[in-house]
């Protein structure tokens, strides 16, 4: 009867492993794929790490921008494409004015903010009219906005909107060029402010981690309420050990002749990504963060208890769109070229794919998912063309696999999410 009813059964280790792999099956699958890809690509570890760090600095901000709408129960916000557009508008303006370096970047930040907030507000209003279909609405909204964007920059610039700039405009004088080179302008505006070597960065991360671990130990000895005990315990152990590992590893690298010593990490960008993580944690502990979660869990209950759920939803989307605009700025200053009509198109897809690979779902996402997802997604991006070439003698195949991965993972993880839900439903 026990296996039929399944109650009061002690969870064995096997059960725990089974539950863990069921809960994280998407992530586990991609870890395996990434490992296989890395193995067959025969890349040197240093080259791989270098590439990966660049890509994390480029993309993590955008992925993190997706978290708040998920908290607020609005699913994956494909409409961050609009935020990306706001960022690009600012970049085009600043490039036109010829302001360079971090000053230019700062002006981009300032200009893009109001545009993104307006876009976000309108998106939020629309999504409030289409409750329950937020994802498809935001996806289609992204396509529609793309049409408007093209109308403005391909047809109106130079004709209705006066603009004279030979390097930016097409030879006819109407419409922007397909790609705009940011070299000498915004390229590496933030990344190049300070760059540390990898061992030094690891050392710093290690120290911070040990400090956090130490703080948790201090908290634990001072006494914490029962419900937090296991959490704090886990934190103090994990952070301390990870911190120590980082410090030790950094010594190992420095004293060896590894190529890893040559990697230079864009520290300001990384710190800003770190701050954004902190912002996400901060906001989830505030009143509005609690409101996001309440609305996300049950809109009806939230409304009955006096929360203005529509307003909360709009706020969530505004924050997400604003972060996406700034994320796109980081993305482009790192990339160095603005593909005027293309840079924003894939932003939503790729960021969402990354988040999903990290183990997030339509209803659950956190910083860990975002960061882990970014790492895995870009690992796949780096290794797959080379692995494809080595395995099948054709880089195109790997290239194909790249595109396949981005779209495939969204479909797959949404499917797996549904399947998981079904399995859990059966168990109950």
Partner 1 sequence: MKSQESVLKMSNISKEYYGTRVLNNINLEIRAGEIHALLGENGAGKSTLMNILFGMSVIHSTGGFDGEIELDGEKVDINSPLQAMDLGIGMVHQEFMLIPGYTITENIKLNRELIKKDFINNLMPTSLKQIDLDEMNKEARKALDTLDIGIEEWIKVAGLPVGYMQFIEIAREIDKQNIKVLVFDEPTAVLTESEADNLLKAMKKIARSGIAIIFITHRLDEVMEVADNITILRDGQFITRKSKDDTNVFEMAELMVGRQIESLAKHEAKDIENQPVAVSLRKFNVAMPGEEVRDLNLDIYKGEIFGIGGLAGQGKIGIANGIMGLYPSRGNVLIDGQPLALNNPKESIKRNLAFVSEDRRGVGLLLDTSIEMNIAITAMQNKNKFLRDYKLFSQKSHRQIRTHALDMIKQLDIRCTGPEQIVRRLSGGNQQKVCIARALTLDPMILLVSEPTRGIDIGAKKLVLDTLIKLNKELGITIIITSSELAELRSICHRIAIVSEGKIEGILMPDASDTDYGLMMSGEYNKLKSKEVI
Distance CA(188)–CA(336), nearest Å, equals 7
Task: Verify binding: residue 306, partner 1, rule CB under 8 A.
Answer: yes
Q: Residues 273, 57: contact at Cβ < 8 Å?
A: yes
Residue closer to partner 1 by CB (options 113, 397) is 113
Task: Verify binding: residue 133, partner 1, rule CB under 8 A.
Answer: no
Q: Residues 352, 76: contact at Cβ < 8 Å?
A: yes
**Rg, Å, the chain Cα set:** 23
Tell me the closest approach of the beta carbon of residue 304 to partner 1, in angstroms: 5
Task: Verify binding: residue 154, partner 1, rule CB under 8 A.
Answer: no
- The residue count for binding partner 1 (CB under 8 A) is 29
Residue closer to partner 1 by CB (options 5, 11) is 5
φ, ψ for residue 19, nearest 5 deg: -65, -40
Among residues 10, 129, 222, 287, which is the contact residue for partner 1, using CB under 8 A? 287
The piece of 1-9, 108-116, 120-128, 318-326 that touches partner 1 (CB under 8 A) is: 1-9
Question: In the window 256-285, what residues touch partner 1 (CB under 8 A)?
Answer: 282-283, 285
Task: Verify binding: residue 288, partner 1, rule CB under 8 A.
Answer: yes
Q: What is the DSSP letter of 157?
A: B
Among residues 83, 201, 291, 332, which is the contact residue for partner 1, using CB under 8 A? 291
Among residues 118, 152, 169, 307, which is the contact residue for partner 1, using CB under 8 A? 307
Question: In the window 213-252, what residues touch partner 1 (CB under 8 A)?
Answer: 225-227
Q: Copy the structure tokens of residue 243.
A: 């911190």
Task: Verify binding: residue 74, partner 1, rule CB under 8 A.
Answer: no
Q: Residues 46, 260: contact at Cβ < 8 Å?
A: yes
Among residues 180, 302, 318, 349, which is the contact residue for partner 1, using CB under 8 A? 302
Residue closer to partner 1 by CB (options 3, 164) is 3
Q: Which residues contact 224 (CB under 8 A, 6 or more apart)?
A: 232
DSSP letter for each residue of 327-372: HHHHHHHHH-EEETTTTTTTHHHHHHHHHHHTT--SS---HHHHHH
Distance CA(232)–CA(242), nearest Å, equals 15
Surface-to-core class of residue 66, CB atoms within 10 Å of its CB (0-12 exposed, 13-18 middle, 19+ buried): buried
CA angle 121, 122, 127 (to 5 degrees): 100
Q: Residues 330, 57: contact at Cβ < 8 Å?
A: yes
Task: Verify binding: residue 5, partner 1, rule CB under 8 A.
Answer: yes
Tell me the closest approach of the beta carbon of residue 7 to partner 1, in angstroms: 7
Task: Verify binding: residue 416, partner 1, rule CB under 8 A.
Answer: no
Tell me the closest approach of the beta carbon of residue 288 to partner 1, in angstroms: 4
Q: What is the DSSP letter of 196?
A: E
Residue closer to partner 1 by CB (options 202, 319) is 319
- Which residues lie near partner 1 (CB under 8 A)? 1, 4-7, 225-227, 282-283, 285-291, 293-294, 297-298, 300-302, 304-307, 428
């Amino acid at each position: 009867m026990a296996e039929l009813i399944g109650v009061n059964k002690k969870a064995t280790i096997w059960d725990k492993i089974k539950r863990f792999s069921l809960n994280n099956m998407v992530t586990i699958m991609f870890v395996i794929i990434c490992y296989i890809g890395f193995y067959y690509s025969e890349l040197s570890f240093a080259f791989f790490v270098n590439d990966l760090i660049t890509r994390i600095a480029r993309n993590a901000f955008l992925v993190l921008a997706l978290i708040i709408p998920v908290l607020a129960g609005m699913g994956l916000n494909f409409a961050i494409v609009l935020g990306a557009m706001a960022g690009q508008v600012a970049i085009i303006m600043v490039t036109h004015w010829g302001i360079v370096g971090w000053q230019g970047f700062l002006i981009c930040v300032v200009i893009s903010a109001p545009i993104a907030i307006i876009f976000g507000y309108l998106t939020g209003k629309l999504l409030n009219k289409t409750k329950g279909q937020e994802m498809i609405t935001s996806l289609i909204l992204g396509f529609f906005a793309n049409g408007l964007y093209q109308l403005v920059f391909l047809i109106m610039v130079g004709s209705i909107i006066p603009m004279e700039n030979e390097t930016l405009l097409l030879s006819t004088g109407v419409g922007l060029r397909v790609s705009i080179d940011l070299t000498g302008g915004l390229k590496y505006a933030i990344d190049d402010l300070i760059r540390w070597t990898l061992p030094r960065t690891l050392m710093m991360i290690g120290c911070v981690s040990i400090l956090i671990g130490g703080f948790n130990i201090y908290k634990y000895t001072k006494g914490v309420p029962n419900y937090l005990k296991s959490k704090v315990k886990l934190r103090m152990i994990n952070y301390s050990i990870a911190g120590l590992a980082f410090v030790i590893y950094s010594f190992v690298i420095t004293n060896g002749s590894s190529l890893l010593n040559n990697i230079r990490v864009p520290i300001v960008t990384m710190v800003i990504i770190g701050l954004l993580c902190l912002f996400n944690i901060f906001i989830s502990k505030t009143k509005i963060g609690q409101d996001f979660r309440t609305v996300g869990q049950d809109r009806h209950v939230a409304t009955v208890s006096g929360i203005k759920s529509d307003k909360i939803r709009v706020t969530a989307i505004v924050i997400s769109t604003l972060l996406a605009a700034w994320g796109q700025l980081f993305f482009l200053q790192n990339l160095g070229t603005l593909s005027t009509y293309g840079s924003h198109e894939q932003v939503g897809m790729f960021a969402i794919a990354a988040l999903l690979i990290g183990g997030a779902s339509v209803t659950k996402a956190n910083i860990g998912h975002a960061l882990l997802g970014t790492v895995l997604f870009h690992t796949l991006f780096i290794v797959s063309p080379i692995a494809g070439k080595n395995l099948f003698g054709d880089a195109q195949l790997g290239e194909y696999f790249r595109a396949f991965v981005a779209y495939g993972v969204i479909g797959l993880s949404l499917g797996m999410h549904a399947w998981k839900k079904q399995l859990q439903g059966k168990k109950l």
